Each structure stands twice: as structure tokens, then as C-alpha cells.
């Protein structure tokens, strides 16, 4: 069978703009994707009706048919998306979501749930989608996760819930992340304000989600995923929560780091708005540790403090020439592009160097985001320079594939040793050395070792350093009794309690740079413990 022809039929069947449940933006993006030259191989399409298998169910002793046709999600074509900052992935239509949901086996012991750090009832929300009960799906997800539109887009499901799905062994796990995203997007298209009575009566949705006021007040510092989750969970339990955020917008890395084409800022804002509907107040432009101290918060009416301040300070290579013009930390580069909208210059007054030969040093999600931003800003050549091999890259596979499709060139086993300036102090060349992989190091990955005499120069006009981040010492340094590790992260116990009475912490500030969902999991866990502590007035150290 001709694969391309068959795939086009699926597109026609499943993405017709007349299908319900698709808003204008999604529809427009999907139409663009259809119009662009999709091909199956490039997009990893699995075709309808092409793969099924039969397996013995050990519990019932009966044969069951497994549908291995994972419904693919359309994307903008690489050629098109190289020139815009619109979201790359278009999301499922309602029909596609239902089709994918139907593949779920509704396992009695759902292994997928073991891989979800916030404990979403995965089979139940998938069942609700399958049955067209979208409001129910929203309720089930939101009982555990206040930020589903974000998680559905950026969580590494391939190593979490989807990696545990029983169908993973067959190479076609249920697309849990895409379904979660679908539910969140479906909800954002509904006008829930029209149905508050129904929602209240049925015990569904927002109005009834908040318990009666407890009279207790909590300060959450940092409006990233850890802080937002902690704030939402505490508000649902009836506590009065104020979030103090240093920047002028809430969302943390979600708003200043991850680019629009991967996580539209409207999605982040609408999920922050949801947190506001729970009664959480936000004090933006409020740098705790400078404007107000943690002690002052505790002495001025707050019963507890949660620190979700992330690890946003950049790490550098510490090699010659790193301070030249044209050498950015990924943190600065991405903040300029995303938060300060440099990609819409001059509409937004944020300058950024639109380099022609750009080198991004690093191999994680941050490096992929920076490289893909540089492509969109008009670079002729973008190289990701990584000192290990592709197998060791920590970035999500999907994002590496996207970057490759967009023309990013990967220089593996390569490491910069110095940067060289032109006569105006701007970077114009980068010396790199070839690397070989030696014995495994403490992380279990093979240690890269420089190959003597292999140094050579490459031409660059912009360099972006994306080799990790470290915690900012401002809050720990100004809060007596708050212990830190040698990496500058805060010391916490399993519930997120710091070494300071009444102060909890979670997310990147305790782990170093990690993931959105792990930060959310930490915020959730701390909220549970704070709630318990506030209600019991319990002793601090058990
Ligand atoms: C470019 C980039 C791409 C990423 N891609 C992914 C991905 O695809 N998937 C994934 O799972 N993870 C990804 N991550 C990692 C993920 O974003 C982080 O692990 C997560 O955001 C950590 O959440 P957090 O709430 O602990 O901290 P943050 O998101 O860093 O939020 C901390 C907040 O605290 C505020 N703050 C700091 N100090 C103070 C202070 N003194 N007073 C008041 N406010 C303060 C900051 O302004 C910020 O808003 C990415 C990270 C980056 C940088
Ligand atoms: S493990 Fe997979 S098939 Fe089973 S309930 Fe979870 S998502 Fe469905």
C-alpha cells in the first residue's frame, strides 16, 4: 500500500476544519500543516488500521486485540516553522483524541499511573475522553494537576507515564501527554462562566473545588511550576495564599525560558488565571530577599512560607573570551527572546543579535530551545556543540528530532576551548577540540576526554552557552537558618521542609535544574505537609 496516499486520506478524514471542537487558531495551524508537504517517514506517522496484535490477558484468560496505531499529532512543516514562532505541534482534534483514547486497555492495575509524579488517575480521564465526557476528563485531571495544558506540552511523558504503559512494550504506548493537552485545550475553549450553577451542583469544576477558609495565610515565593502548584493546592484546601514573584509575569521558566513555539504563553497565562480563580493573589515585581525578607513575611502575618525560586542563575564554561560581545548565556538569550519578545523587535523594544553563524553549547532542552530560536531569528547556520555523543544527550528525543528537521547541525564529541574577538571586541571565532568517550563517570555516562592536538577554529558570530543553571543565593543568603548543599540548593526533607521553622521549599531550588513535573510534584507534596502542619499546629521536627 502506498503509505503517503494512505496518510493523506487520514489527514482528510480526521482534520477537516468542519469537525467540531477545534478553535480558529488550532484550525488555522492544522490547515497550514496539511497544506505543507507532510511525509510519513519524516513525521513518524503510524497509519490507521496498519497495526494490531492479539495477546492473552493473564487475568481473564481471554484473548484481547491490541490496537498499536498511535494517533499521530500533526505539526507545522519544518520549512514553514523555521520562519515563525507559532506552536509547532497542532494538538489532537476531538475525533483524534477519542480514537487514541479508545486504544487504552483500562488496565485494572494501571502501570502508567506509577510514572506520574502528581498521581493523575490516567485510565479514568482517558475513559472519559473515550466516552465524550470531556468535562469529566477535566475534573479528573485537575483533581491532581492544576497545569495540564503545560504538562501536556512539555513533560517528558516518554520517560514517565508513557514509558510504563503496557503498550510501550509493543512500541505504541497510549499518547497520554497528547490526551492531557487535548483536555486542557478543550477546557480553555469552553465558556465555563456560563455554567457555574451546574458545576457547583454537580461538584465539578472550579467553584466547588475550594474548601471553606481556614484563616491561615501562606506566602509562596516564585511563580514557577513548583510555586503555582503549591499555591493552587493550598488554596483548594482553604488557605489564603499570596505568591511573590520577582518578574513582571507569572510562570517561571514556562514564561521566560521555554519558547512560544513549544509552549504558547497564552496557555501559561490561562493556567495562571485558573490558579487566580482559586483565590490565590499575586504580587509581581517582588524580589524576596531584597524587597522583603522571609523573616518579615513570617513576622507579618504569614503562617508558612514555600520557596519555589528555581535555579535560574546561568552556569558558564569558564574559558577565555566568554565575556565577549555576542556570547550569551542561554538564560539571557531566551529571556530576551521569550519574556521580552525580542523576536517581535521593533514592536517590542528588546534588541538581540540576529547572528548568521550561531553556536549553541550544550545538549539539553535549553540548548535545543536556544538553537531553534536562533533558526527562527534568521541564522544561516546553527550548530549545537556537544561534548558527548547523541546517545548521551539529555534533551527530549522529540525536541532533538524537531531541531534536526529545522536544519540545526549537531557537532557531537566537540568542546569549545576559547572564543576569539574581532577588532571591535565581538566574537568571530571559536576554538574547539574533538572529544572521545572514556570510562563512565558518577552520572553513569561515559566521560568525554579531549583528543590532544585536535584543536581547530570555526567561524561564529553568536555563541549561546547552555550548560546548565545554578540556584541564585539571594534568598538563602538572607534567611538565617536556611541550610544549603555544596551546590547551593536548599536542604529539605521528604516533605519539603527546610532547616528553618515554617519554611518549605521545592522544585529546582532543591534539586538543581530538573523538570516541570518534578517541580510540580514537589510543590504538591509540600502543600500537603503545610496543610497538615497548619491544621494540626504540629511540631516542626518530628
Ligand atoms: C529553556 C528551558 C527549557 C526547558 N524545557 C523543559 C521541558 O521541555 N520539559 C520539562 O519538564 N522541563 C523543562 N525545563 C526545566 C523546567 O522548566 C524547570 O525544571 C522548572 O521550571 C522548575 O520549576 P520551579 O518552579 O522550581 O522554578 P522556575 O520555573 O525557575 O520558577 C522560579 C520562579 O521564582 C522566581 N524567583 C526566583 N527568585 C525569586 C525571589 N528572590 N523572589 C521572588 N521570586 C523569585 C523566578 O523569577 C521564577 O519565576 C526547561 C528549562 C529551561 C530553562
Ligand atoms: S497502562 Fe496504558 S493501556 Fe493501561 S490504563 Fe494506563 S494508559 Fe491505558
Domain boundaries in the chain?
A: 5-188, 210-311+471-541, 314-469
Name the residue at shortest CA distance from atom 49 of ligand 1: 252
Q: Which numbered atom of ligand 2 lies nearest the CA of 103?
A: 3
Per-residue model confidence (pLDDT) at position 282? 98
d(CA 217, CA 220): 10
Per-residue model confidence (pLDDT) at position 52? 67
Looking at all shown ligands, the one closest to residue 245's CA atom is 1
Contact of 53 with 68, CB cutoff 8 Å: yes
Instruction: Give the mean pLDDT of 513-521.
Output: 93
CA angle 247–249–252, rounded 5-degree value:
70
Per-residue model confidence (pLDDT) at position 445? 80
Q: Is the CB of 287 under 6 A from ligand 1?
A: yes
- Sheet containing 462-465: order of strands: 327-329, 462-465, 357-361, 381-385, 409-411
In this predicted structure, the answer to whether residue 28 has a pLDDT above a threshold of 80 is no
Per-residue model confidence (pLDDT) at position 50? 58
In this predicted structure, the answer to whether residue 235 has a pLDDT above a threshold of 70 is yes
Name the residue at shortest CA distance from atom 4 of ligand 2: 107
Q: What does pTM read for this prediction?
A: 0.84
Per-residue model confidence (pLDDT) at position 34? 32
For 300-338, write each residue's pLDDT tens digit. Answer: 999 999 999 999 999 999 999 999 999 999 999 999 999
Per DSSP, the three-state class of 490 is strand
C-alpha cell at 124: 479514568
Residue 15 confidence class, pLDDT cut points 50, 70, 90:
very low
Best substitution site from 253, 295, 311, 503 to test ligand 1's pocket, by max atoms within 8 Å of Cβ?
Answer: 253
Instruction: Give the mean pLDDT of 59-67.
Output: 70
Name the residue at shortest CA distance from atom 1 of ligand 2: 165
Per-residue model confidence (pLDDT) at position 443? 76
d(CA 189, CA 4): 33
- Grid cell 546561568 — which residue? 314
Q: Please, what CATH class does the domain formed by 5-188 belong to?
A: mainly alpha
Ligand 2 geometric centre to CA of 110 (Å): 6
In this predicted structure, the answer to whether residue 55 has a pLDDT above a threshold of 90 is no
Q: Is the CB of 522 under 6 A from ligand 1?
A: no
Q: Is the CB of 490 under 6 A from ligand 1?
A: no
For 133-162, write each residue's pLDDT tens digit. Answer: 999 999 999 999 989 999 999 999 999 999
Question: How many other C-beta atoms lie within 10 A of the C-beta of residue 455?
Answer: 13
C-alpha cell at 83: 520562519
Per DSSP, the three-state class of 539 is coil
Instruction: Give the mean pLDDT of 466-476.
Output: 96
Superfamily of structural domain 210-311+471-541? FAD/NAD(P)-binding domain (3.50.50.60)
For 423-455, write each residue's pLDDT tens digit. Answer: 999 999 999 999 999 988 887 888 999 999 999
Ligand 1 geometric centre to CA of 252 (Å): 5
Best substitution site from 53, 103, 112, 137 to test ligand 2's pocket, by max atoms within 8 Å of Cβ?
Answer: 112
Percent of the chain at pLDDT exceeding 90: 75
Establish whether domains 5-188 and 314-469 are of one fold. no
Q: Name the more confident of 273 and 53.
A: 273
Instruction: Give the mean pLDDT of 253-274.
Output: 94
In this predicted structure, the answer to whether residue 476 has a pLDDT above a threshold of 70 is yes
What phi and psi, each to the nearest 5 degrees, are found at residue 426?
Answer: -105, 145
Residue 267 confidence class, pLDDT cut points 50, 70, 90:
very high
Per-residue model confidence (pLDDT) at position 346? 83
Q: Please, what CATH class does the domain formed by 314-469 belong to?
A: alpha beta
Ligand 1 geometric centre to CA of 109 (Å): 33
Amino acid at each position: 500500500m502506498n503509505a503517503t496516499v494512505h496518510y493523506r486520506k487520514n489527514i482528510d478524514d480526521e482534520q477537516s476544519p468542519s469537525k467540531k471542537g477545534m478553535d480558529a487558531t488550532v484550525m488555522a495551524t492544522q490547515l497550514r500543516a496539511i497544506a505543507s508537504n507532510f511525509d510519513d517517514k519524516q513525521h513518524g506517522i503510524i497509519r490507521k488500521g496498519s497495526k494490531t496484535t492479539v495477546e492473552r490477558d493473564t487475568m481473564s484468560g481471554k484473548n484481547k486485540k491490541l490496537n498499536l496505531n498511535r494517533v499521530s499529532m500533526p505539526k507545522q512543516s519544518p520549512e514553514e516553522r523555521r520562519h515563525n514562532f507559532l506552536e509547532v505541534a497542532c494538538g489532537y482534534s476531538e475525533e483524534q483524541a477519542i480514537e487514541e483514547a479508545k486504544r487504552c486497555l483500562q488496565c485494572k492495575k494501571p502501570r502508567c499511573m506509577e510514572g506520574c509524579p502528581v498521581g493523575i488517575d490516567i485510565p479514568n480521564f482517558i475513559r472519559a475522553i473515550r466516552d465524550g465526557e470531556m468535562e469529566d476528563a477535566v475534573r479528573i485531571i485537575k483533581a491532581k494537576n492544576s497545569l495540564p495544558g503545560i504538562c501536556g506540552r512539555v513533560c517528558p511523558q516518554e520517560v514517565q507515564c508513557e514509558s510504563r504503559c503496557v503498550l510501550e512494550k509493543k512500541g505504541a504506548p497510549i499518547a497520554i501527554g497528547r490526551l492531557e493537552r487535548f483536555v486542557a485545550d478543550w477546557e480553555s475553549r469552553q465558556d465555563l462562566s456560563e455554567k457555574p450553577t451546574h458545576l457547583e451542583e454537580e461538584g465539578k469544576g472550579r467553584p466547588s473545588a475550594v474548601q471553606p477558609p481556614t484563616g491561615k495565610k501562606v506566602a509562596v515565593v516564585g511563580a514557577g511550576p513548583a510555586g503555582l502548584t503549591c499555591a493552587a493546592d493550598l488554596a483548594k484546601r482553604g488557605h489564603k495564599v499570596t505568591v511573590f514573584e520577582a518578574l513582571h509575569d507569572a510562570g517561571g521558566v514556562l514564561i521566560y525560558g521555554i519558547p512560544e513555539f513549544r509552549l504558547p504563553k497564552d496557555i501559561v497565562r490561562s493556567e495562571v488565571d485558573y490558579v487566580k480563580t482559586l483565590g490565590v493573589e499575586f504580587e509581581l515585581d517582588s524580589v524576596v530577599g531584597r524587597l522583603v525578607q522571609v523573616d518579615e513575611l513570617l513576622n507579618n502575618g504569614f503562617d508558612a512560607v514555600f520557596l519555589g525560586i528555581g535555579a535560574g542563575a546561568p552556569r558558564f564554561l569558564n574559558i577565555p573570551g566568554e565575556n565577549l560581545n555576542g556570547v550569551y548565556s542561554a538564560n539571557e538569550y531566551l529571556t530576551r527572546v521569550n519574556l521580552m519578545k525580542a523576536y517581535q523587535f521593533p514592536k517590542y523594544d528588546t534588541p538581540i543579535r540576529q547572528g548568521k553563524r550561531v553556536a549553541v553549547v550544550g545538549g539539553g532542552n535549553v540548548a535545543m530551545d536556544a538553537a531553534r530560536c536562533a533558526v527562527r531569528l534568521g541564522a544561516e547556520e546553527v550548530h549545537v556543540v556537544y561534548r558527548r555523543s547523541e546517545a548521551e544527550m539529555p534533551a527530549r528525543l522529540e525536541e532533538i528530532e524537531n531541531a534536526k528537521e529545522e536544519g540545526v547541525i549537531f557537532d557531537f564529541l566537540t568542546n569549545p576551548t576559547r572564543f576569539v574577538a574581532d577588532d571591535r571586541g565581538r566574537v568571530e571565532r571559536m576554538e574547539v577540540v574533538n572529544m572521545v568517550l572514556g570510562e563512565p563517570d558518577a552520572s553513569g555516562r561515559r566521560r568525554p576526554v579531549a583528543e590532544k592536538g585536535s584543536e581547530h577554529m570555526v567561524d561564529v558570530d553568536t555563541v549561546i552557552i547552555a550548560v546548565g543553571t545554578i540556584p541564585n543565593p539571594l534568598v538563602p543568603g538572607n534567611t538565617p537558618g536556611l541550610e544549603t548543599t555544596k551546590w547551593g540548593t536548599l536542604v529539605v526533607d521528604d516533605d519539603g521542609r527546610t532547616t528553618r521553622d515554617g519554611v518549605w521549599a521545592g522544585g529546582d531550588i532543591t534539586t538543581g535544574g530538573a523538570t516541570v513535573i518534578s517541580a510540580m510534584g514537589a510543590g504538591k507534596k509540600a502543600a500537603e505537609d503545610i496543610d497538615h502542619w497548619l491544621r494540626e499546629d504540629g511540631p516542626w521536627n518530628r
